[in-house]
């Protein structure tokens, strides 16, 4: 060891001996707390106001982390701008938790049950997207993940995960080429976008990260290779491949041999591409907002009734009838004519909140000024039919009096029945104030039309004694007799007086004698005179029996005679 190093070593030993906390102490009974506590007091200095503010801000950011994740990830594609702005203005965790609870409740298709089907389906879609569409980034961030989370699974998917040889359709120029991996998703209907919506995703980097494109030629791997992947016309020498790069429609497609389809039109593609990044728009924005926020206004009374008629094995005609009493409407007089107008917005959604059918109608009531009092005593009735598959749905009907400003949001759950082929079934039993045949050109079209008959329900089920009450119902799946091919069964009609169960009418007819009766379907259309019935409440009870299958149905309905 050199002399300089020895001096440094001796100096260090002496310095350590001078430190009060480390010097030797032979008196074991002497306390050591003073020597140890002194340096601790110098460390625990009180925080300044600036330091406290920084600490509180840091703590606030840490507490906001799960809420920020909920806003920026969980509901990124389904939250509205208004909701997002409101959420950012909240200052406490209690407010944020309450907001989130209400956020999901507003979207719950069955708020009267414990389960929130919309929320469960939403997180299922996120999980599916993360599992199937991740590619260096989480699946929910990808274009395919965004579309899947927003609109659900596509009705049809054409997938080319490895790319390779590809025969172009003539709308893209025809001919053979080689492609990058790509997928084409087809939706039969997307609200606010249209029908037969085609969405294409391409992976030009071969990394598994597909992005949405509005240019069908982007998947062409031979696009930049001279004299390769030629279109039909290019291979015949009628056009040059260089012409693809002179197009002004945002694509590099070759000239095809067929007219361009509507979905391939430049502005159609651009419009669809834009709408897929936006929220759907509707005609009556104020009415849609009422549906979206599930705020109920009880100012404009409305009655809604739904009936179900089997069309095919997998399709049910669902008729929605809306009744407004004219006395509740505000009329405005102009040039001797009084008019009331009601805007109606209706939407049927699946249990996962996916729109199935949307319609909007202005309901106008016009009458001469001299007839206003009489018109006010009448009703305005509207009917709309939609074909649905068996299952559970949610119906929202919003009506707004344009002149008076009153409105109502009517909500109900739709349970569309399933008709088993080997089981006797029945449509809704409709009590109508009008049943009549329609012209051949009107069969199956127009309000209140079921097949070749116009059937207008009496929603309040109240009839006058001088009226005839219409009875309309269909029965399905009788067992056909092997010899005659006709159904073997009976239909019993009973009218009972409510209260004392007095039997007012009891009539039975054979099913095979009903006009047009067949094993697959028996349609009952009858008009029952009410002049012999005293004022009061009654029950119409039908007992339908299939003798060959030994099955029975007992549909019934109540009505009032005044």
**Phi first, then psi: what are they for 270, rounded to 5°?**
-65, -40
Local structure of 559: helix, strand or coil: strand
Of the two residues 317 and 196, the one the predictor is more confident about is: 317
pLDDT tier for residue 97 given thresholds of 50, 70 and 90? confident
Of the two residues 108 and 388, the one the predictor is more confident about is: 388
DSSP string, 147-198: HHHHH-S-SEEEEETT-EEEE--GGGT-SEEEE-SEEEEEEEEETTTEEEEE
Query: Which residue bears the tokens 């050109």?
Result: 441
Q: What's residue 283's pLDDT?
A: 45
Name which of 426, 403, 395, 402 is nearest 322 in CA terms. Answer: 395
Under DSSP, the state recorded for 70 is: I
Chain-wide mean pLDDT for the chain? Answer: 81
Q: What's residue 109's pLDDT?
A: 76
Instruction: Check whether 199 has a pLDDT greater than 80.
Output: yes
| Each residue's pLDDT tens digit, 24-63 | 344 444 343 343 333 333 344 566 777 767 766 665 564 4
Instruction: Check whether 268 has a pLDDT greater than 70.
Output: no
Instruction: Check whether 227 has a pLDDT greater than 70.
Output: yes
Can you tell me the mean pLDDT for 132-156?
Answer: 91
Can you tell me the mean pLDDT for 60-81?
Answer: 77
| Each residue's pLDDT tens digit, 412-429 | 889 999 998 889 999 999
Q: 217 and 251 in contact (C-beta within 8 Å)?
A: yes
DSSP string, 493-541: EEEEETTTTEEEEEEEEEGGGSTT--SSEEEEEEEEE-TTSPSEEEEEE
- Side-chain half-sphere CA neighbours of 428 within 13 A: 20
Q: How far apart are CA 87 and CA 71, in angstroms?
A: 8
| Entry pTM | 0.52
Provide the angle, in degrees to the nearest 10, between the axes of the packed helices 93-106 and 49-69: 10
Q: What's residue 288's pLDDT?
A: 57
Q: What's residue 299's pLDDT?
A: 77
Cα separations (Å) of 403 from 303, 328, 341, 374? 20, 12, 7, 20
Cα separations (Å) of 551 from 216, 472, 546, 556? 57, 21, 5, 17
Q: What's residue 114's pLDDT?
A: 66
Can you tell me the mean pLDDT for 205-219?
Answer: 87
Name which of 313, 307, 316 is nearest 520 in CA terms. Answer: 313
Residues 6+ positions from 11 with CB-CB distance below 8 Å: none
Instruction: Check whether 202 has a pLDDT greater than 90.
Output: yes
Q: Dihedral of the CA atoms 472, 473, 478, 482 (nearest 10)?
A: 10
Q: What's residue 483's pLDDT?
A: 86
Comparing 17-26, 257-266, 346-355, 402-411, the range with the smallest average pLDDT is: 17-26
Of the two residues 20 and 213, the one the predictor is more confident about is: 213
Q: How far apart are CA 152 and CA 145, in angstroms?
A: 10
Cα separations (Å) of 394 from 189, 219, 289? 18, 40, 16
Query: What is the CATH architecture assignment of 282-417?
Result: Sandwich (2.60)
For residue 251, how many other CB atoms are within 10 A of its CB?
18
Q: 400 and 447 in contact (C-beta within 8 Å)?
A: no
Location of each CATH 2.60.40.3880 domain in the chain:
282-417, 419-562
Q: What's residue 188's pLDDT?
A: 87
Alpha carbon 455 to its chain's center: 29
Instruction: Check whether 491 has a pLDDT greater than 80.
Output: yes
End-to-end CA distance of the chain: 124
Q: How far apart are CA 487 and CA 551, in angstroms?
A: 13
Residues 6+ positions from 40 with CB-CB distance below 8 Å: none
| Each residue's pLDDT tens digit, 507-557 | 999 999 999 888 889 999 999 999 999 999 999 999 999 999 999 999 999
For the domain with range 419-562, which CATH number is right: 3.40.50.2000, 3.40.50.720, 2.60.40.3880, 3.40.718.10? 2.60.40.3880
Q: Dihedral of the CA atoms 179, 182, 188, 190 (nearest 10)?
A: -130
Max mean pLDDT among 27-31, 126-130, 220-224, 242-246 falls in: 126-130
Of the two residues 337 and 26, the one the predictor is more confident about is: 337
Instruction: Check whether 258 has a pLDDT greater than 90.
Output: no
Of the two residues 249 and 147, the one the predictor is more confident about is: 147
Indicate the burial class of 504 (C-beta count within 10 angstroms; 0-12, 13-18, 19 or more).
Answer: middle
Instruction: Check whether 259 has a pLDDT greater than 70.
Output: no
Instruction: Check whether 18 has a pLDDT greater than 80.
Output: no
Q: What's residue 281's pLDDT?
A: 38
**Phi first, then psi: what are they for 62, rounded to 5°?**
-65, -40
Of the two residues 113 and 314, the one the predictor is more confident about is: 314
Give percent of the chain above pLDDT 90: 39
pLDDT tier for residue 305 given thresholds of 50, 70 and 90? very high
Q: What's residue 219's pLDDT?
A: 87
Local structure of 71: helix, strand or coil: helix
Rg (CA), the chain: 37
**Token representation of residue 138:** 């989480």
Can you tell me the mean pLDDT for 398-417?
Answer: 89
Q: What's residue 113's pLDDT?
A: 67
């Amino acid at each position: 060891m050199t002399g300089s190093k020895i001096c440094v070593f001796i100096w260090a030993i002496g310095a350590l001996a001078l430190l009060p906390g480390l010097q030797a102490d032979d008196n074991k009974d002497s306390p050591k707390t003073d020597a140890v506590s002194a340096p601790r007091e110098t460390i625990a200095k009180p925080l300044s106001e600036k330091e406290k503010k920084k600490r509180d801000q840091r703590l606030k950011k840490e507490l906001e982390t799960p809420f920020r994740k909920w806003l920026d990830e969980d509901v990124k594609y389904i939250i509205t701008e208004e909701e997002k702005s409101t959420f950012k203005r909240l200052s406490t965790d209690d407010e944020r938790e309450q907001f989130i609870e209400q956020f999901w409740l507003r979207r719950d298709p069955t708020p009267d049950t414990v389960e929130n089907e919309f929320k469960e389906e939403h997180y299922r879609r996120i999980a599916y997207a993360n599992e199937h569409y991740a590619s260096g980034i989480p699946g929910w961030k990808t274009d395919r993940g965004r579309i899947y989370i927003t609109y659900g699974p596509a009705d049809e998917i054409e997938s080319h995960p490895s790319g390779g040889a590809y025969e172009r359709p003539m709308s893209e120029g025809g001919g053979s080429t080689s492609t990058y991996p790509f997928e084409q998703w087809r939706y039969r209907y997307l609200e606010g976008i249209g029908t037969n919506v085609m969405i294409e995703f391409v992976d030009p980097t071969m990394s598994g990260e597909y992005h949405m494109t509005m240019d069908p030629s982007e998947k062409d791997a031979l696009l930049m290779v001279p004299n390769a992947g030629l279109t039909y016309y290019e291979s015949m020498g009628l056009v040059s491949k260089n012409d693809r790069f002179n197009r002004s429609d945002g694509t590099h497609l070759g000239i095809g041999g067929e007219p361009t389809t509507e979905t391939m039109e430049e502005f159609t593609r651009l419009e669809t591409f834009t709408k897929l990044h936006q929220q759907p728009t509707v005609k009556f924005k104020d009415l849609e907002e009422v549906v979206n926020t599930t705020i109920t206004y009880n100012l404009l009374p409305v009655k809604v009734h739904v009936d179900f008629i089997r069309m095919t094995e997998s399709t049910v005609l669902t008729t929605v009838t809306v009744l407004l009493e004219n006395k509740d409407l505000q009329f405005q007089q102009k040039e001797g004519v009084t008019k009331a107008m009601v805007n109606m917005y209706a939407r049927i959604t699946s249990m996962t909140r996916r729109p199935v059918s949307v319609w909007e109608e202005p309901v106008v009531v016009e009458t001469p000024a001299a007839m206003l009092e009489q018109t006010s005593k009448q009703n305005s009735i509207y009917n709309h039919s939609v074909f649905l598959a068996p299952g559970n749905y949610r119906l929202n009907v919003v009506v707004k009096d344009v002149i008076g400003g009153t409105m109502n949001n009517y909500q109900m759950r739709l349970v569309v029945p399933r008709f088993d082929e080997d089981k006797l079934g029945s449509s809704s039993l409709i009590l109508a104030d009008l049943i009549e045949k329609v012209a051949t050109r009107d069969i199956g079209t127009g309000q209140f039309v079921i097949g070749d008959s116009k059937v207008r329900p009496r929603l309040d089920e109240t009839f006058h004694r001088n009226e005839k009450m219409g009875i309309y119902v269909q029965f399905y799946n009788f067992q056909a007799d092997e010899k005659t091919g006709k159904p073997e069964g009976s239909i019993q009609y009973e009218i009972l007086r409510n209260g004392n169960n007095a039997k007012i009418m009891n009539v039975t007819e054979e099913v095979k004698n009903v006009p047009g009766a067949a094993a697959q379907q028996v349609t009952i259309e009858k008009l029952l005179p009410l002049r012999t019935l005293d004022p009061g409440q009654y029950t119409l009870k039908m007992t339908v029996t299939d003798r060959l299958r030994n099955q029975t149905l007992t549909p019934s309905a109540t009505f009032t005679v005044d």
